[in-house]
Amino acid sequence: MSSIDIYNLKVTACHGVLLEEKINRQPFYFDVSMKYDFTAAAKDDDLNLTLNYDEIMHSISDFCKDNTFNLIETLCHRTATMLMRKYPIDSVSITVKKPQAPVSLPFDNVSVTTNLTRTTALLSLGSNMGDRQAYLDNAIKRLQANQDINVQNVSAPFENPPYGGVAQLPFINMAVKLSTYLSPYELLEYIHLIESEAQRDRSVHWGDRTLDMDIIFYGDCVIDSEALTIPHPDYINRDFVLKPLKEIAPDFVCPLIKKRIRDL
């Protein structure tokens, strides 16, 4: 994948914790690297087929000037998010340098860097209470409404018996394929928000529920923490997870067992 890079873009703005930093403008310098396939533009020598770096630099400058943050970490991350939302780039790496930071020692600058990359995630959805399909459809709409998420494919609904020996009512299960630059934990937080809006009751483990949303895969990421496990544990033995996934992402390869979903 090719990239378009910008170095030392100077923007004079007000960012900092101290009062004088919020009032008096000072220089900030941006280094930006964007992954973007400009093969077609290079072949046809056509500006319309590539990124307009003049426009991008003005977008960065305007964003930096129009906002005021205490931390350059916030400035850096939110500038990266702005670019991902506004332009069809696959990933972005931004470094923000602050040469006039209020430090009492000699230095060239302080800087922070953030990286955002569009990643494919596969979700499993289920409901066995109330209007099951309505809960699932609304969850998908909530995913589509998030500007940091691009829903790419949705499976057909599948009716399944309850799983785990606790739930009593039959489920409808679906799968969703999406692209996002949210981190796995940010995606999990948003999923929990959607579940809460559906009055999800977590008091009984594996009990009946209005809405259950799980991250099965997040790219080739492997996570084993108290809050999140990816790939989702025991997915390989759950037909109600695999059947919808096979419909929408048959060639996705599990990062642990190195097999395509279609072959599981």
Q: Active site residue: 22, 86, 98, 259, which one?
A: 98
- Give Rg (Cα) of the chain: 22
Count how many Cα atoms sit within 13 Å of the Cα of residue 25 in the half-sphere of its side chain: 9
Alpha helix segments (H runs only) across the chain: 19-23, 39-44, 53-66, 72-86, 132-145, 184-197, 239-248
Tell me which residue has tokens 């084993």.
224
Distance, C-alpha 86 to centroid of its chain: 15
98 is catalytic: yes
Q: List all residues 6 or more positions away from 124 whose beta carbon is below 8 Å from its beta carbon.
A: 173, 174, 175, 212, 213, 214, 216, 232, 235, 240, 241, 244, 245
Report the C-alpha dihedral over residues 188, 192, 193, 194, rounded to 10 degrees.
Answer: 100
Angle formed at CA 155 by CA 196 and CA 176, multiple of 5 degrees? 45
Catalytic positions, written as ranges: 98
